[in-house]
Structure 1
Amino acid sequence: MNRLFLLGALAFAVGAQAAEKYDREMLAARGYDASIADLLASGAHFLPGKHPVSIIANGRNSGIFPLLFDEAGSPCWSAPLLRTLGIDARRFASVHSSCLQPIAESGIRIVEQVERSTLLLHIPADALRQETLYATGGSALMANYDFRRYDVQAQGGKYRHSQTLTAELGANFHQWIVRSGQSYTTFDGEARFSHLYRYAQRSFPGRDAVLQVGEIVTGDALFPGITLTGVQMLPEHAASDRLSLTVSLPRAGSAEVWQGKILLKSYQVSAGINRLGGLPALSQQDDFTLVTFDESGNRQQQNIPRLQAQPESALPESSSAFAAGRLRLSRERAPLMLASTGLLQTQRIALRAGGLAGEGYLAAAWQARLRLAGKLTASLSQIVAQTGGKKLGATHQAALSYPLDQQLSLTTSASWRSRGYRTIDSGWRADGEQSGDAQIRSQLAAGFSLNRAALGLLSLTASDTQSWRGNHTRGYTLAWSRTFARVNLNLGVQKNRLTVARQQHEDRYAYLNFSLPLGRDSNLRGWMTRNNGAMRMGAGYDQTVSPAFAWSLSSEQSAQQAPSLASSASWSSKYSQLSGGVARSATGSRFSFGARGGAVVHSAGVTFTPHSVGDTFSIISLHRAQPDVEIRTPAGTVWSDRHGYAIASLTPWRKNSVQINPHSLPGNVQIPGGIAELTPFRGAAVQLDLPAWRVRRALLTFPPEERPEPGSAVENSRGALVAFVSEDGTLFIDDLPAGPLYAHRPGGARCAIALTTPWVDRPGSLYTPLSARCVI
Structure 2
Amino acid sequence: MMPALQCRQLKRLGQLMLLVASLLLSAKVAADENEKKQSRAAQILRARGIDPDILSSLNQANALPAGENLLDISVNGELKSSQRVMTGRQGQICFTPDLIDQLGLKQPAQLADPGCIDLSQQPGFNLKADPQKLALSIVVPQQALADEPQYSGEMGGHGALLNYNYYSGVSRVRGRQSRYSYLMLEDGINMANWMLRGRQQLNEDRGKVNINRGTLYAERPVPGWRKRIQFGQIGVSNTLFSLGEIDGIQVIPDRGLEKDSSESGSIEGIAGTSQARVEVRQYGALVFSTLVPAGPFHLNGIPLHNLNGDLDVTVLETDGHQQRFTVPASAMRVNPSGNRGLSIAAGRLNQAGESGSGVPALLTLNQNWQVRRLSLQSGLLLTKMYQSLGASLAGPVLQGAQLAAQIVAANDRQQHTSSMQLSLSGSYSLTSSLSFNASVSKNTPGFVSLATASARLAERYENDNLQYRLSAGWNSPSAGYFSYSYSASSRFGDNGISRYDMLSWSLPFRKAMLSVNVSRNRGNSSNRQLSVNFSLPLGGQNFSSYYRRSGSGGQLGAQIDGALGKNGTYYLSSGRDMQARMQSVQGSVSANLHYTRMALAASMNSEQAGNVSLSGSGGMALVGSHLLFSPQPVGQTFGMIELSERLAGVAVRTPGGTSWTDWRGLALAADIPAWHPAMFDLDTESLPKNSDVGNGHHRLAMARGSVKRIRYNILTSRRVLLTLRLPDGRPVPRGGLVRDDRQNIITTVLDDGTIYLENSPVKGTLEIAINGENRRCRVDYQLNDEGENDAPYQQVSGVCLLLPGGGEPTGAAVRAG
TM-score by shorter chain over 0.5: yes
Output the CA distance in 1 between the equivalents of 2:702 and 2:42: 50
After superposition, the Cα gap between the structure-2 partners of 1:768 and 1:110, relative to the gap in structure 1 and judged at 3 Å, is: farther
Output the CA distance in 2 between the equivalents of 1:408 and 1:174: 51
The yes-or-no answer on 1:485 pairing with 2:510 is: yes
The yes-or-no answer on 1:244 pairing with 2:265 is: yes
Q: Deviations over 1:322-345 (max 9, x none)?
A: 211221134143221111225794
- Report the 3-state secondary structure (helix = DSSP H, G, I; strand = E; otherwise coil) of the residue aligned with 1:426: helix
Output the CA distance in 1 between the equivalents of 2:236 and 2:555: 44
The yes-or-no answer on 1:595 pairing with 2:616 is: yes
The yes-or-no answer on 1:767 pairing with 2:772 is: no
Query: Would you say the 8 A contact 2:82–2:697 is kept in 1?
Result: no
* 1:379 aligned partner: 404
Q: Deviations over 1:450-486 (max 9, x none)?
A: 3443343333332222222315322212222232222
AA matched with 2:122 = E
Query: Would you say the 8 A contact 2:767–2:777 is kept in 1?
Result: yes
Output the CA distance in 2 between the equivalents of 1:345 and 1:29: 77
Question: Mean Cα displacement is larger for which, 147-156 or 98-107?
Answer: 98-107
The yes-or-no answer on 1:650 pairing with 2:679 is: no
- Report the 3-state secondary structure (helix = DSSP H, G, I; strand = E; otherwise coil) of the residue aligned with 1:524: strand
From 432, 444, 457, give the equivalent of 2:468.
444
After superposition, the Cα gap between the structure-2 partners of 1:616 and 1:731, relative to the gap in structure 1 and judged at 3 Å, is: same
* 1:11 aligned partner: none
Output the CA distance in 1 between the equivalents of 2:707 and 2:266: 30
* 1:392 aligned partner: 417
Report the number of matched residues: 722
Deviation of 1:27 after TM superposition, in Å, equals 9.2
From 299, 303, 326, give the equivalent of 2:348.
326
The yes-or-no answer on 1:665 pairing with 2:687 is: yes
* 1:516 aligned partner: 536
- Report the 3-state secondary structure (helix = DSSP H, G, I; strand = E; otherwise coil) of the residue aligned with 1:88: coil
* 1:16 aligned partner: none
After superposition, the Cα gap between the structure-2 partners of 1:105 and 1:368, relative to the gap in structure 1 and judged at 3 Å, is: closer
Output the CA distance in 1 between the equivalents of 2:170 and 2:291: 18
Query: Would you say the 8 A contact 1:179–1:198 is kept in 2?
Result: yes
Output the CA distance in 2 between the equivalents of 1:101 and 1:622: 30
Query: Would you say the 8 A contact 1:619–1:647 is kept in 2?
Result: yes
The yes-or-no answer on 1:751 pairing with 2:778 is: yes
* 1:641 aligned partner: 662
The yes-or-no answer on 1:265 pairing with 2:273 is: no
Output the CA distance in 1 between the equivalents of 2:111 and 2:289: 58
* 1:424 aligned partner: 450
Output the CA distance in 2 between the equivalents of 1:619 and 1:261: 37
From 553, 562, 570, give the equivalent of 2:590.
570
From 675, 691, 695, give the equivalent of 2:713.
691
The yes-or-no answer on 1:128 pairing with 2:145 is: yes
Q: Deviations over 1:532-568 (max 9, x none)?
A: 1111112112242312222222112112142012221
AA matched with 1:263 = L
* 1:410 aligned partner: 436
From 546, 564, 571, give the equivalent of 1:552.
571
Aligned positions of 1:443-462 closer than 5 A: 443-462=467-486
Output the CA distance in 1 between the equivalents of 2:118 and 2:324: 67
From 230, 240, 252, give the equivalent of 2:248.
230
After superposition, the Cα gap between the structure-2 partners of 1:45 and 1:665, relative to the gap in structure 1 and judged at 3 Å, is: closer
Q: Deviations over 1:252-274 (max 9, x none)?
A: 74643232764322335465452
After superposition, the Cα gap between the structure-2 partners of 1:439 and 1:651, relative to the gap in structure 1 and judged at 3 Å, is: same
After superposition, the Cα gap between the structure-2 partners of 1:312 and 1:476, relative to the gap in structure 1 and judged at 3 Å, is: closer
- Report the 3-state secondary structure (helix = DSSP H, G, I; strand = E; otherwise coil) of the residue aligned with 1:687: strand
From 305, 318, 324, give the equivalent of 1:302.
324
AA matched with 1:104 = Q
* 2:649 aligned partner: 628
- Report the 3-state secondary structure (helix = DSSP H, G, I; strand = E; otherwise coil) of the residue aligned with 1:670: strand
Deviation of 1:494 after TM superposition, in Å, equals 1.4
Aligned positions of 1:79-478 closer than 5 A: 82=100, 85-89=103-107, 91-95=108-112, 102=119, 104-106=121-123, 107=125, 123-126=138-141, 127-129=144-146, 131=148, 134-137=152-155, 138-156=157-175, 158-205=176-223, 207-237=225-255, 242-249=263-270, 253=275, 255-259=277-281, 262-267=285-290, 269=292, 272-281=296-305, 284-285=308-309, 287-291=311-315, 300-307=322-329, 310=332, 314-316=336-338, 319-330=341-352, 331=354, 332-342=358-368, 345=371, 351-369=376-394, 371-404=396-429, 408-426=434-452, 439-470=463-494, 472-478=497-503
* 2:602 aligned partner: 582
Output the CA distance in 2 between the equivalents of 1:367 and 1:308: 12
From 529, 533, 536, give the equivalent of 2:555.
536
Output the CA distance in 1 between the equivalents of 2:320 and 2:534: 19
After superposition, the Cα gap between the structure-2 partners of 1:81 and 1:735, relative to the gap in structure 1 and judged at 3 Å, is: closer
* 1:8 aligned partner: none
Q: Which runs of 5+ in 2 are unaligned?
A: 1-37, 87-91, 802-808, 810-817
Deviation of 1:402 after TM superposition, in Å, equals 1.9
Output the CA distance in 2 between the equivalents of 1:509 and 1:394: 38
Query: Would you say the 8 A contact 1:202–1:211 is kept in 2?
Result: yes
- Report the 3-state secondary structure (helix = DSSP H, G, I; strand = E; otherwise coil) of the residue aligned with 2:685: helix
Deviation of 1:732 after TM superposition, in Å, equals 0.5
Q: Deviations over 1:643-681 (max 9, x none)?
A: 333334333444443333333333222224333344444
Deviation of 1:497 after TM superposition, in Å, equals 1.6
* 1:613 aligned partner: 634
Output the CA distance in 1 between the equivalents of 2:751 and 2:240: 80
After superposition, the Cα gap between the structure-2 partners of 1:148 and 1:456, relative to the gap in structure 1 and judged at 3 Å, is: farther
Query: Would you say the 8 A contact 1:515–1:523 is kept in 2?
Result: yes
Deviation of 1:407 after TM superposition, in Å, equals 5.1
AA matched with 1:210 = R
State the TM-score, normalized to the length of structure 2: 0.77
* 2:804 aligned partner: none
Output the CA distance in 2 between the equivalents of 1:62 and 1:178: 35
Deviation of 1:718 after TM superposition, in Å, equals 5.9
Q: Which runs of 5+ in 1 are unaligned?
A: 1-23, 47-52, 68-72, 112-118, 500-504
**RMSD (Å) for aligned C-alpha atoms:** 4.2
Output the CA distance in 1 between the equivalents of 2:676 and 2:461: 39
After superposition, the Cα gap between the structure-2 partners of 1:659 and 1:343, relative to the gap in structure 1 and judged at 3 Å, is: closer
Output the CA distance in 1 between the equivalents of 2:68 and 2:533: 66
After superposition, the Cα gap between the structure-2 partners of 1:488 and 1:176, relative to the gap in structure 1 and judged at 3 Å, is: farther
Deviation of 1:189 after TM superposition, in Å, equals 1.9
After superposition, the Cα gap between the structure-2 partners of 1:209 and 1:272, relative to the gap in structure 1 and judged at 3 Å, is: same
Output the CA distance in 1 between the equivalents of 2:412 and 2:652: 57
After superposition, the Cα gap between the structure-2 partners of 1:452 and 1:627, relative to the gap in structure 1 and judged at 3 Å, is: farther
Output the CA distance in 2 between the equivalents of 1:717 and 1:311: 72
After superposition, the Cα gap between the structure-2 partners of 1:543 and 1:346, relative to the gap in structure 1 and judged at 3 Å, is: closer
Deviation of 1:400 after TM superposition, in Å, equals 2.8
Question: Mean Cα displacement is larger for which, 446-455 or 415-424?
Answer: 446-455
After superposition, the Cα gap between the structure-2 partners of 1:357 and 1:55, relative to the gap in structure 1 and judged at 3 Å, is: farther
